[in-house]
Copies of this chain bind each other. A is one copy, B any other.
Amino acid sequence: MPFPVRVGDKWTAKILVCLRDGPRRFSELQVPLARVTPKVLTESLRAMERDGMITRTVYDEMPPRVEYELTPLGHTLFEPLAASCAWNAEHGEAVARAREEHAQRV
């Protein structure tokens, strides 16, 4: 099942935001994404690379440096992402209320 692109998982959307303004190193991503383990971060990044959303560039230095950067295709994801954020901003409160009322009735 190739589609759709996994932006609904736990970290992809946040990685997108972190890469919005330019390339970032692995350790630079771990800072804003607090509590993401390296294993999971790597998995997410590899999946995004496989889908053409980001590029992974290894600089042969010591100590090692690896940079991740959004592709043009990756940047296009901000459009649907913005729509989802706008929905949350506009209706998130209503959902919270619905959940509380539902909890009351039970």
Given known A-B contacts A91-B73, A91-B76, A51 and B2 have beta carbons under 8 A apart: no
Instruction: Please tell me how many copies of the chain the complex holds.
Output: 2
Instruction: Tell me if B80 and A2 are in contact (CB < 8 A).
Output: no
Instruction: Tell me if A77 and B73 are in contact (CB < 8 A).
Output: no
Instruction: Tell me if B49 and A102 are in contact (CB < 8 A).
Output: yes
Q: How far is the CB of A81 from chain B (nearest CB, A)?
A: 9
User: Which of A33-41, A59-67, A92-100 lines the interface with chain B?
Assistant: A92-100
A83, CB-defined interface residue at 8 Å? yes
A58, CB-defined interface residue at 8 Å? no
Q: In chain A between 1 and 40, which residues have their CB closer than 8 angstroms to a CB of chain B? A: 2-5, 7-9
Choose from B9, B51, B82 the contact partner of A98 (Cβ within 8 Å): B51
